[in-house]
Amino acid sequence: MYFKTSAVAAAAVLATSALAQSGNSLVDVITGNSDLSTLTALLTNGTFGNFSSLVNTLSNSTNGNWTIFAPSNSAFDGVQITNSTDLTSILSYHTINGSHPSSQFKDGSNIVATNLTNSTYDHFPSGGVPVNVKVSGSVVNVYYGANYANVTSADNTASNGVVHVINAVLMPPSDVNSTALQAGLDKFVNALNSTNSTEGINKKSGITIFAPNDGAFSSDALSKYNSSQLANILAYHVVEGLYYSTNLTNLTSPMNITTEAGSNFTLDVSGGSVKLTDVSGNETAHVIKTDILTDNGVIHIIDAILIPAQNASSVPTNNTNITSSSGVGSLFESREISRIAVAMTVMSAFAALML
């Protein structure tokens, strides 16, 4: 069911609500802001569930301090909310423990764990599903996956926290392939699919993906590799652990990173640019977009494809036929397979890549 704000209904709710109390709690700040009347209605009118316990938490400073990214009325236009579990998750994703005024967010990415810990959405090793509060001069955006909301009114201060009004509803990030598609990484997604690597990468928890952009796939440099080798090349772009840009900014010397393909690449930060060099030193890539959150980690977009040791040095030999269950798709679980050269029909993989 889609809904629109009814100013009249919301006003009626407010007038009769026990919430309309004096004071300066988060609840007072939200209910007192006419641009947050849809949010107020959702919290209080019961249509999508009973949120009285959340309202209590937010009205009493003995329950801690919270930062709320509060969607404005127009932010809810076209947003589909069907039931209370849905809304509970969405609201948790807008809530951060502690009071974080905008002055606490540094220029660039700020990766902040939200209160969303429901295991349907949370495949992070610790903390809740994060948002990326990205600051660029006076513009503050809250990124969720490839999408973002603008902060339209920051620092509405309450006795137990702060409310930042945003112009879109934040949705918990999605899986790797869906997020990558939204980020315009069509060829990377095709490559994952054509090598049956999609499920394997989605099942991982707490990973960093250096995803080559479409331009990186446009050369025919990959045409000499078979599907198994291509899967290994993709695995070379996946790293166990959460390396947000904020983890890498302080690097003073090149860092060796172990990948899911077994072999390493080097990551170097200098002069504001992040450079990756593969093990042979033949290929370098630059990070061109950072910190796109997925439900299990983070994607950084790079402008070239790196080649791991096994593929840089070896030419396919013939043979072991492998099934998809023990095969390429499981590369992300077992690295051994990368050493097995497999004779397979490779054209379909590359046909997909060249789209």
Tokens of 106: 């540094």
Least distance in Å: CB of 286 to ligand NAG? 20
**Strand locations in 57-185 (E):** 66-71, 95-97, 111-113, 130-136, 139-144, 147-158, 161-166
Residues numbered 324 to 353 that lie near ligand NAG (CB under 6 A) are 324, 327-328
**CA-to-CA separations, 59 to 17, 136, 305, 342, in angstroms, rounded:** 13, 32, 52, 62
Kindly identify the residues of this chain, within the stretch 223-262, that bind ligand NAG according to CB under 6 A. 227, 241-244, 246-247, 249-250
> Contact region for ligand NAG (CB under 6 A) — 191-199, 253-261, 280-288, 294-302?
191-199
End-to-end CA distance of the chain: 37
For ligand NAG, the binding residue among 115, 213, 310, 311 (CB under 6 A) is 115
Under the binding rule (CB under 6 A), the answer on residue 99 touching ligand NAG is yes
**Could you say which of 20, 54, 79, 154 contacts ligand NAG (CB under 6 A)?**
54
Query: By C-beta, is 138 or 281 nearer to ligand NAG?
Result: 138
Q: Which residues pair with 300 in a beta bridge?
A: 210
Residue from 16, 24, 34, 83 in contact with ligand NAG (CB under 6 A): 83
Q: Does 171 bind ligand NAG (CB under 6 A)?
A: no
Contact characters 193-222, ligand NAG, x per CB under 6 A: xxxx-xx--x--------------------
Task: Look at residues 324, 290, 286, 263 and name the one whose alpha carbon lies nearest to residue 183.
Answer: 290
**CB within 8 A of 117, min separation 6: which ones?**
92, 128, 129
Nearest residue to ligand NAG on Cβ basis: 3
Q: Which is nearer to ligand NAG, 158 or 309 (CB)?
A: 158
Classify the C-alpha dihedral 299-301-302-306 as positive or negative: positive
Q: In the stretch 34-53, what mask flags binding to ligand NAG with x, by CB under 6 A?
A: ----x--xx--x-x------
Give least dist CB 204 to ligand NAG, A.
Answer: 11
Under DSSP, is residue 341 helix (H, G, I), strand (E, B) or coil?
Answer: coil
17 binds ligand NAG (CB under 6 A): no
Single-letter amino acid, residue 142: V
- The strand pairing partners of 299, in sequence order, are 209, 292
Total residue length of the chain? 355
The residue to which tokens 């050369």 are assigned: 219
- Secondary element (H or E) of residue 257: strand 255-258
Tokens of 170: 């934040």
Smaller CB distance to ligand NAG: residue 157 or 280? 157
Question: Residue 249 or 264: which CB sits closer to ligand NAG?
Answer: 249
Which is closer to ligand NAG, CB of 169 or CB of 242? 242
CB of 282 to ligand NAG, least distance (A): 26
Distance between CA 258 and CA 274 in Å, rounded? 17
Instruction: Quote the CA–CA distance of 201 and 199 in Å, as a whole number.
Output: 6
At residue 103, the 3 state secondary structure works out as helix
What are the C-alpha distances in Å from 209 to residues 5, 28, 80?
40, 42, 30
Total number of residues binding ligand NAG (CB under 6 A)? 55
Contact residues for ligand NAG, defined by CB under 6 A: 3, 5, 9, 38, 41-42, 45, 47, 54, 57-58, 60, 62, 64-66, 82-83, 85-86, 88-89, 92, 95, 99, 115, 118, 120, 139, 141, 150, 175, 177-178, 181, 190, 193-196, 198-199, 202, 227, 241-244, 246-247, 249-250, 324, 327-328
